[in-house]
Amino acid sequence: MAEKITGAEALIKSLIAEGVDLVFGYPGGAIIPVYDKLYDYTDQLKHILVRHEQGATHAAQGYARVTGRPGVVIVTSGPAATNVITGLSDALMDSTPLVVITGQVASSFLGSDAFQETDVVGITQPITKWAVQIRRAEDIPAAVARAFYIANTGRPGPVVLDIAKDAQVGMLEWEHKKCDFIRSYIPYPKINEQDLQTVANLINSAKRPMILSGHGVMISGAEKALAAVAEKGNIPVAATLLGLSTMPSNHPLYKGMLGMHGNIGPNINTNRSDVLIAIGMRFDDRVTGDVSKYAPQAKIIHIDIDSSEFDKNVKTDATIHGDAREVLEKLLPLINEADHSEWLETFDKCAKVEYEKVIEREVYRTDGPITMGEVVNKVSTATGDRAVLVTDVGQNQMFSSRYFRYTEPKSILTSGGLGTMGFGLPASIGAKMGAPERTVCFFTGDGGLQMTIQELGTIMEYGTEVKIILLNNNYLGNVRQWQELFFNSRFSQTPMVNPDFVAIANAYGIAAETVNSREQLDDAIARMLNHKGAYLLNVIIDYTDMIFPMTPAGAAVDNIMLNATEKYPLD
Amino acid sequence: MEKQLFTVTVFSENQVGLLNQISIIYTRRCLNIESLSVSPSSIEGIHKFTITTWSDRVTMEKVVKQIEKRIDVLKSFLYTDDEIVYQEIALYKVPTEQLLNETNLEAIIRRHNARILEITKEYTVIEKSGHSDETEALFEELKHYDIRQFVRSGRVAITKSPEEYVTMFLEEQARRAEEIN
Ligand SMILES: Cc1ncc(C[n+]2csc(CCOP(=O)(O)OP(=O)(O)O)c2C)c(N)n1
Ligand SMILES: [Mg+2]
């Protein structure tokens, strides 16, 4: 008979058995037994002490998205559990695998409003893929195994294990068996041959096809298969925000980003295309604009692992339910070689206008204050376009995702679905820990940075080499932009009095400097990238700078503002 | 789109918290649950939910997919009234005194195919099962006798289809489980 161990120790052993070697967390009363056992396992399981539980979840997201493995979080009950809500919601929206372990009061206290008791399962059910409470030590190994299986198969997502204190101290005979089957859950459906043929026929008969590549392509590792299909059929590819880097930026068939601040070509051509091939994306309203005016000429093909996405926002004409990579590999032989040169040229025309009307004055300005776009462009170039881009939310997010260039897959980490300010700093910590060999460049705003700024302490403690580029406009810039464009320039609560960010970074032992003028920029970027260790570059930005092109919220995708006064197409 | 009454059935593992998971799918979409009944199904360990809602087909198809997406849900189906055999049960509590004065009581009970469950000096409990318009009709009639309490159950439903999809699903999954092991 196996020796009995506590539930707390079983949890740790099960995590290790699932291949976990790094967890993000924060201790407290209802999880102390786990932390006590962790003390004996530090050689096998490294714990990163964040400075706020929200930071733990975003760090775990960053880790998960660069590694493709679930990020693990351990926190206590009550306020710690409520602090992880934003991260859970963000991870569900952006299909990120997380296993979040919350301590819970002893089961005899459940429902009594005990100290630091909160209904974690009740609160998190709507924002997780699965949430369960564990009240007996002997249930821990199977629940952990199930959690990992659910989190990282099919469409990934966050999972919560709420472990009552008595389950942590109770004894069990530990045995860990990985989960590979749940009767009520089919993560990888069998691909329907008929659907493949239908889709292939649609693609083969298309005159103006376009691929919309989403996060699902990245999650399933379908980048090569995507390129093969696109190249064989000469089909232009556009990416969603989270689908950026699924095709290298310099690939001749890559035509840019979709959505509110995406490139003109893909957005305009959405409404000219006759066949849209959406892969691992979910027709978010930031991509579609007004759905009633979306892609009126197109037959819509939707390939996704989550069939509940079919016809959810946009009515489809054909679907393939399955893993993106598997589907694309099966589709490849069914697709005819084709020449769509005339169609492809239309993208170039749009790109030319975009360059002249937007990019040139944003990225290559020679006078006036520094713009966000030029900083991003310079940093991207200085890293050989090979860094991992992490963004916060706001103008900084849209400028950095637009002007960064991507060479390798899994090179963008941003909060897409939830748009969580404060996501970036902790996410960049997790990203660097998950991909230590890569340069991690984190672009943020003065508002968003201050939402999780305490994680500078985590960087200090673990020496995490994150390059922080603060695009500092002393404004909640994105909101300011909407106020200027749509609310008569009434700048209600968007100007901000900011602290001395360099002093703050220095106080955390992080090298930092401020850049005020264009002439200083190149050298400062070089100093930042050459510095061994974290670095904060506080770049003072023109606060009047606005992110364009822009499809106003709720307008049709081809209703594109080039700036505050001009629209595309120009007369 | 025109609204009609839809019946959703859900077959799930017997897990704590499933009702919450299902009901929030309705709440988020501002859908009122018209009636709900939950019970063990004919298959051991599997629970069956029967939920009726006034809505349109497009909305309800999305709801069913969202329900099925929950990990512990095995299958969920959408029906209109013509696809199922369904029933509800209603109980009526009426002061006995009032009924004693009624010469037509027998006729009412007979006409509605109702039955009397209990009679005390103070009150009488009448039971009727049927579709909601039928239990409603008896309600209307008994109103004159000062109904003290009235309760109607959620709908229970059985499909007319000869195929037993849940059983088929479980068999297929059992095969899959064997393949994996
Ligand atoms: C947690 C959270 N609160 C509020 C918002 C709304 N919001 C979106 S962008 C933005 C402004 C962000 O300002 P800043 O971080 O300085 O970035 P900038 O737009 O100036 O680059 C705000 C307030 C949000 N997305 N997330
Ligand atoms: Mg700002």
Across B106-125, average pLDDT? 94
pLDDT band at B105 (very low <50, low <70, confident <90, very high): confident
Q: Which of A297, A313, A346 is the last residue of a domain?
A: A346
**Pair A390, A423 in one domain:** yes
Task: Give dist(CA A557, CA A551) in Å, integer.
Answer: 6
Range of the domain at A42: 4-173
Under DSSP, is residue A449 helix (H, G, I), strand (E, B) or coil? helix
Across A258-262, average pLDDT? 97
Determine the pLDDT at residue A414.
98
**Pair A134, A66 in one domain:** yes
Average pLDDT, chain A: 97
Determine the pLDDT at residue A112.
94
pLDDT in tens, A376-393: 999 999 999 999 999 999
- A568 located within any domain: no
Q: Are A368 and A395 in contact (CB under 8 A)?
A: no
What residues of chain A, 97 to 126, have a C-beta less than 8 Å from chain B? 121-122, 125-126
**Cα(first)–Cα(last) distance of chain B, in Å?**
48
- Residue with the nearest Cα to atom 26 of ligand 1? A421
Task: Give dist(CA A253, CA A256) in Å, integer.
Answer: 9
DSSP code at position A550: B
Determine the pLDDT at residue A571.
63
**Pair A338, A239 in one domain:** yes
**Pair A342, A407 in one domain:** no
Across A268-279, average pLDDT? 98
Chain B contact set for A307 (CB, 8 A): 65
Q: Inspect the interface and report whether the beta carbons of B65 and A308 lie closer than 8 Å.
A: yes
Token pair for residue A324? 């993106």
Element (H, E) at A35: helix A32-38
Asked whether residue B103 carries a pLDDT value surpassing 90, the answer given is no
CATH number of B85-152: 3.30.70.1150
- A385 located within any domain: yes
Of A271, A397, A13, the C-alpha closest to A4 is A13
Q: Are A549 and A459 in contact (CB under 8 A)?
A: no
Determine the pLDDT at residue A39.
98
Q: By 3-state DSSP, what share of chain A in percent is helix, strand and coil, each rounded to 5?
A: 40, 20, 40
- A316 located within any domain: yes
pLDDT in tens, B10-30: 999 998 899 999 999 999 999
Average pLDDT, chain B: 94
**Pair A56, A117 in one domain:** yes
The alpha carbon of A438 and the centre of ligand 2 are apart by a number of angstroms equal to 27
Ligand 1 close to Cβ of residue A448 (< 6 A): yes
Asked whether residue A570 carries a pLDDT value surpassing 80, the answer given is no
Task: Give dist(CA A334, CA A2) in Å, integer.
Answer: 55
* Neighbouring C-alpha atoms within 13 Å toward the C-beta of A414: 30
**Pair A112, A169 in one domain:** yes
Element (H, E) at A344: helix A341-354
Determine the pLDDT at residue B144.
86
Q: Which residue from A minimizes the CA distance to B72?
A: A184
Under DSSP, is residue A456 helix (H, G, I), strand (E, B) or coil? helix
Domain count, chain A: 3
- A257 located within any domain: yes
Q: Inspect the interface and report whether the beta carbons of B20 and A122 lie closer than 8 Å.
A: yes
Q: Are A142 and A116 in contact (CB under 8 A)?
A: no
pLDDT in tens, A284-331: 999 999 999 999 999 999 999 999 999 999 999 999 999 999 999 999
Q: Which of A312, A346, A380 is the last residue of a domain?
A: A346
Q: Are B26 and B89 in contact (CB under 8 A)?
A: no
* Residue owning tokens 């995507």: A226
Task: Give dist(CA A159, CA A125) in Å, integer.
Answer: 9
Determine the pLDDT at residue B15.
87
pLDDT in tens, A489-534: 999 999 999 999 999 999 999 999 999 999 999 999 999 999 999 9
Residue A490 to residues A21, A216, A487: CA-CA distances in angstroms? 50, 40, 6
- A360 located within any domain: no
**Pair A323, A385 in one domain:** no
Residue type, B61: E
Q: Where are the domains of chain B?
A: 4-79, 85-152
Determine the pLDDT at residue A255.
98
- A68 located within any domain: yes
- A180 located within any domain: no
> What is the CATH classification number for the domain harbouring A430?
3.40.50.970
Ligand 1 close to Cβ of residue A265 (< 6 A): no
Ligand 1 close to Cβ of residue A446 (< 6 A): yes
- A363 located within any domain: no
Q: Percent of chain B, pLDDT > 90? A: 83
Ligand 1 close to Cβ of residue A447 (< 6 A): yes
**Pair A42, A163 in one domain:** yes
pLDDT in tens, A161-220: 999 999 999 999 999 999 999 999 999 999 999 999 999 999 999 999 999 999 999 999
* List of residues 6+ apart from B115 with CB closer than 8 A: B109, B126, B127, B128
**Pair A213, A255 in one domain:** yes
Locate the ligand 1 atom nearest the alpha carbon of residue A448 and give its number.
15
Q: Label residues A388-398 b or e (16+ Cβ within 10 Å = b).
A: bbbbbbbbbbb
Element (H, E) at A226: helix A223-233
A369 upstream amide cis, omega within 30 of 0? no
- Could you list the beta-strand ranges (E) of A258-304: 275-279, 299-304
Residue type, A329: E
**Pair A108, A207 in one domain:** no
> What is the CATH classification number for the domain harbouring A218?
3.40.50.1220
Query: Which of A181, A182, A307 is the closest to B65 by Cβ?
Result: A307
Q: Is A402 exposed, middle or buried (0-12, 13-18, 19+ CB in 10 A)?
A: buried
| B4-79: in CATH 3.40.1380.10 | no
pLDDT in tens, B47-76: 999 999 999 999 999 999 999 999 999 999
Lowest-confidence segment of A143-152, A439-448, A561-570 by average pLDDT: A561-570
Determine the pLDDT at residue A74.
98
The alpha carbon of A449 and the centre of ligand 2 are apart by a number of angstroms equal to 9
Across A10-25, average pLDDT? 98
Q: Percent of chain A, pLDDT > 90? A: 99
The alpha carbon of A376 and the centre of ligand 2 are apart by a number of angstroms equal to 15
